[in-house]
Structures are given as structure tokens and as C-alpha cells.
Amino acid sequence: MKFKTLIFLIVVIITTSCSFFKKADDRIPIARVNEAYLYDDDIKDLITDATTKEDSVLLVQNSINRWATQQLFVDGAMLNLSEEKQATFNKLIEQYKNDLYTKAYIEALVKKNIDTTLANDEAETYYENNKEAFKLNEELIKFRYVHVDENIINFKAIKEKFQRFNLKDKKELDSISIQFKSFSLNDSIWIKVSQVMDKISVVNPENKDELLKKSNFLQLKDSLGVYLMQINNVLLRNETAPLEYVKPTIKQIVINKRKLELIRELEKDITKDAIKNKQFEIYN
């Protein structure tokens, strides 16, 4: 009798101890489907300070309904799908989880170790060896422009400075640029003609060819004023894009190649280290 009482007391103590050390789930359930619960923490990010009370109620209700519908389908699948089918899905889920973890870890390692600098000589070498890959599929120009009111007091002086455009002229035009409706005085960079046409509505398919003439000056009017445009240089379709224009693309290509090489090295090294540290072994 005493032995049975002792056993009973031990069981009670063990059960009580397990319950005591078990972390309490203090989350607040807001919905249940069979044995699954939806908690307030699961939907707290749906509502922001800017959300109205009416919208909040609607968002929460819709979210609960979507969760319940999905959970009911999942429960139905667990009851009706074959064990073989469920096993296949579980393998896919496990593989997807592994792929996510692997990708995140590799990306972190690559980010930490990759060299993202590109020396000029490296860019030039890649460019010279792959010029055929850099044929233009649209026109590029180097140009500057200002858009001013047609009746602006100093229009003649602005036009003169704009066309001559020495260092002093550029500085003076910069200093009065607040008078311009819009402008771009940096004529040392290549720009797509399509971008020019998108930005400057007065340029259209009918007068586009005027943009494609080197050293050409244009003066075009619209309902808001006058555009002064100076074309410095032109590159047409199928011509080779200049290095300065494609350098960002080359940099991305080179860095992507470095990433692939680094990933291959990481894959080899992690396996070698695991074998060396006896974390990985193949049984005969």
C-alpha cells in the first residue's frame, strides 16, 4: 500500500513539475478551427494608426475568414489525401524550407565576402572583349536644354550664353536657373532619345530627326514657353554603345560572375571543413 502511494506521489510531482516549467501561452485566441487557433498577434500588423475603425473591423473579419477557409481546406486535405500524397507534400515543404535557409545563408556570406569594386582597366578589358554585346537598340544623344518663358526680359542674353556655353556662361546660367521652367546643362552624359521625348513634350516623332544631328541647335515653342536645345553628340541604333554608358551594366555582369565563383568556392569549402571536423561522413 505504501509502495503504491509512493508511486502515485512521484507521478503527481513529475506532472506538476512539467506543468510548472512549461512555458505558458499567454497569446489571446480570436478564432478556432478544430485544433488550430488564430491569435491576436497573427493579425496585429493588419491595422495601422491611419486605419479607420470601420476599415479595421472589415480587415480583421476578412483575415479571419481567409484563415478559417484555408485551415478548413488543410484539415480536409489531411483527412482525405492519401498518406503517400501527404508524405510527398511534406518532402516538398522540407525541401522548400531548406532552400530558403540555404539561400539566405549563402546571400549573407556572399554579401560579407564579395568584392563589389570594379577597376577601370577591368571594365575596359571586358568591354573590348565583348563589344558585339553592346550594340545599341535605340539612339543616344548628349545634349543640354533650357525651357524659359518666351517673354522673359533677358531672353536674348540667355540664348547667347546657352549657345556659346563657355565656363563663364555655364556658371552664369546656373546662377539664374531659378528663372527657368526646367533645364539640364550637363551635356557630357549620354541620354536615351526616348527619355528626352518623354520629358520634353514639344519633341515628337515629326521633329525627332533634328535631335539626331550632331552639333545641331534647336529652338522649339510650346504653350508654356521656348525650348533651347543643343545637341553635342549622337549615337544611332546598332552602333557600339560607349564604355561610359555601359559601365554600370559591365559592373553588374562582373559582380554576378564573382558571386557565382564565390558560391562555388563556399560550397566546396563548407564540405571540406565538415569532413575535416568530422561533421560530414559517407558510410560504405
The pLDDT-based confidence of 2 (bands split at 50, 70, 90) is very low
With 70 as the cut, is the pLDDT of residue 5 above it? no
Give the span between the Cα atoms of 54 and 31, in whole angstroms.
20
Greater confidence (220 vs 2) lies with: 220
Beta strands in 34-153, from DSSP E residues, in sequence order: 36-39, 140-148
Q: Strand (E) positions, the chain?
A: 29-33, 36-39, 140-148, 182-184, 191-192, 217-222, 225-235
> For residue range 125-141, what is the model confidence (pLDDT) as tens digits?
999 999 999 999 999 99
Quote the pLDDT of residue 21: 44
- Torsion of the alpha carbons at 164, 168, 174 and 180, rounded to the nearest 10: -40
In angstroms, the CA 178 to CA 172 distance is 12
How far apart are the C-alpha atoms of 190 and 84, rounded to whole Å?
Answer: 61
Q: Which residue has the higher pLDDT, 54 or 169?
A: 169
User: Tens digit of pLDDT for each residue in 64-91?
Assistant: 999 999 999 999 999 999 999 999 999 9
CB of 217 closer than 8 Å to CB of 143: no
Contact 141, 196 (CB under 8 A): yes
Report residue 196 as a C-alpha cell. Answer: 528626352
Q: Which fold has domain 136-235?
A: Chitinase A; domain 3 (3.10.50)
Query: CA of 17: how far to CAs of 22, 25, 37, 51, 256, in Å?
Result: 8, 17, 26, 45, 56
Across residues 250-265, what is the average pLDDT? 96
Q: Which of 196, 170, 182 is nearest to 226 (CA)?
A: 182
- What's the distance, Cα to Cα, between the start and end of the chain in Å? 56
The secondary element (H helix, E strand) that includes residue 212 is none
**Among 8-22, 76-90, 133-147, 233-247, which is the least confidently predicted range?**
8-22
Return the minimum-mean-pLDDT range out of 2-16, 83-97, 202-216, 234-248: 2-16
Q: Are 250 and 118 in contact (CB under 8 A)?
A: yes
Assess whether pLDDT exceeds 60 at residue 152.
yes
Average pLDDT score over residue span 33-42: 90
Per residue in 93-116, pLDDT (tens digit) is: 999 999 999 999 999 999 999 999
Q: Cell triple for residue 122?
A: 577591368
